[in-house]
Amino acid sequence: MNFTKNIAAKIALLPMIIISLTVFVGCIIYSFVYSLTGSKLIPALNYVGFSQYERLFKSRKWDVAVENIFIYGFVFTISCLVIGFLLAVLIDQKIRGESLFRTIFLYPYAMSFVVTGLVWKWVLNPTYGIEHSMHLWGFTWFELDWLVNRDLAIYAVCIAAVWQGAGFVMVLMLAGLRGIDEDIWKSLSIEGIPKWKSYIFVILPMIRPMVITSLVLIAAGVVKVYDLILALTSGGPGYSTTTPAMYVMENFFSRANLGQAFAASIIMFISVVCILAPWAYYEFYFRNKEAKV
Amino acid sequence: MISNNIEASGPKPKHLTIGRIGLYFFIITCALFFLMPLYVMIITSLKDMDEIRSGNLLYIPQKLSYYSWPKAWSEACTGFICEGLRPGLINSLKITIPSVIVSVTLGAINGYALAFWRFKGAYFFFGLCLFGAFIPYQVMVYPLLKIESAIGIYSSLPGIILVHTIFGMPILTLIFRNFYSSLPIDLFKAARIDGGNFLKIFFYVIIPMSAPITIVAVILQVTGIWNDFLLGLVFAGRDNQPMTVLLNNIVQVKFGVVEYNVDMAATILTSILPLAVYLLSGRWFVRGIAAGAIKG
């Protein structure tokens, strides 16, 4: 291989290559190596095998964090996809004021997670929030104490997250729906198939790539959730809404327990790979094969 | 490929049927749910504390009070420092503007080199770079902090700008590469025959055609960087804390009387810029989402 051939492009891509290798690959290796050490306040190379991982899996707090991320991931992903699709279908009905509705459904996505968290913290405030309003209206039985309820606080996080993310899914799904040929709709209506049936059994499979893309982007965001929870519940009440990301950050920056934080972050990384691998396989391998046939 | 056009085609139905009335009722209900937090945010910031305690969260203020706004802007306290959000605004601008410029430039160069000047192995690194978009920040934060300390830019403005450039790189490289790949290749070939080299073609042929994708990229980055919290918290240092970090510190203050109207005013102040970008850019914002999600 001639090294000087196309040299300008090689130089231009040097920053990308360096960053990819040092940050994206290097940091994972660094974290993994130090997750095998007993590092406390500063990174130290005192090898302790996999005992950080053992400790991690025995930790009650990590258990809660993992359980939370599963609840959050499941509820948030499914709700976002269902509501996003529903909104896209509604918008797709040639309604008046379409762009106004689109603007309304998407605006939360332009806001910061911190803002979303703080707003919902106020709306769901058990003393002055929606609950109070309902009581003033005479619905004294109404209860909405999710933020101070250990079992329900994580669902409050889900509401805020869906409020912010549903518009994003709507846009992607709408792009899919608008790509459907008019002729397909015509033939469906000639066949006399009800519209809702057409959407679920014909159109949804046709926009499968969009559904999968939304699913992957939403799911990849799930593992990262941090700011939103910090603003909304600060992980509380107690540590009932803590997540793996918070567990990592806490061990890095306030508990000076680096080894533990590295081990937890490596587990986070592995779980992201597990979400991505089937998709990447489908996208790059399976599809290429399909295209060749 | 799926179109990234989301505009409706064809005429709108003229007659209102029962079904369509139901449809409008439902979509308006959804819209009200989505608008409610924004509405609550605004009216709460215009009430005084007495009314907040005794009144209904959802009612418009009976007596307008504006004092929460200047207070959120320049007096609200984080710990013992009572300067409001104002320093955060300046810091956020100082972080966002250079970060956007540097990251978008890098993305454009990467995309250009990948689309037109492919060399052996380039796509391997491109794959690696895209993979970086999915790595949780928590895996990279600490080692990156160590790297920055070693170079001597940790906890400084260049430090946070570098971090935003790094984390913006995958998506920006992707959207620029996709855009450039969709340009007619003959154009590039003609420029090559005319003797253009890497830089000349970039400046005279490619950049003049890059306006649409650059707008998309800038919108994506401005909102993304402005809204960032975690990276600003870790990498910006005490003197450069962005608005989101200050906002969180102001609202989560553990002592003293909680003033919800000031909190809400501060929240609105923090989201004015991204909201304005969103409302003014309209279709471009949507294109940014589609560009990031759709592969060419």
Number of structural domains chain A divides into: 1
**A171: in domain:** yes
Interface size A-B, in CB pairs within 8 Å, comes to 275
Min Cα distance A7 → chain B (Å) is: 9
Q: Rounded to a whole number, what is the largest CA-CA distance in chain B? A: 77
**A34: in domain:** no
- Output DSSP code: residue A126: T
What's the rounded Cα separation, in Å, for the pair B28 and A101? 8
Do B139 and A230 lie within an 8 Å CB cutoff? no
pLDDT higher than threshold 90 for residue B237? no
Q: What is the pLDDT of residues A142-164, one digit of tens each?
A: 878 888 888 889 999 999 999 99
Min Cα distance B268 → chain A (Å) is: 8
**A48: in domain:** no
Q: What is the pLDDT of residues A86-125, one digit of tens each?
A: 999 999 888 888 889 999 999 999 999 999 999 999 999 8
Chosen for mutation from B5, B6, B177, B220 (greatest number of chain A CBs closer than 10 Å) is B6
What's the rounded Cα separation, in Å, for the pair A265 and A244? 8
pLDDT higher than threshold 70 for residue A290? no
**A2: in domain:** no
Q: What is the pLDDT of residues B241-280, one digit of tens each?
A: 999 999 998 888 767 778 888 899 999 999 999 999 999 9
Full set of structural domains in chain B with CATH: 18-65 (no CATH), 86-293 (1.10.3720.10)
Read off the amino acid at residue A18.
I
Buried b (16+ CB within 10 A) or exposed e, B7-32: ebeeeeeeeeeeeeeebbeebeebbe
Most confident listed range (A185-194, A283-292, B89-98): B89-98
218-237 in chain A: CB under 8 A from chain B? 220, 223-224, 226-227, 230-231, 234
**A47: in domain:** no
**A83: in domain:** yes
CATH of the domain at A94: 1.10.3720.10
B114: CB partners within 8 A, 6+ apart = A13, B122, B123, B126, B173, B177, B180
- pTM score: 0.89
What's the rounded Cα separation, in Å, for the pair A145 and A142? 10
**A54: in domain:** no
Chosen for mutation from A137, A254, A265, A282 (greatest number of chain B CBs closer than 10 Å) is A265
**A246: in domain:** yes
Q: What is the pLDDT of residues B125-183, one digit of tens each?
A: 998 998 888 888 999 999 999 999 999 999 899 999 999 999 999 999 999 998 998 88
Could you tell me the residue range of the domain that residue A222 belongs to? 60-292
Cis check: omega of the bond before A237, within 30 degrees of 0: yes
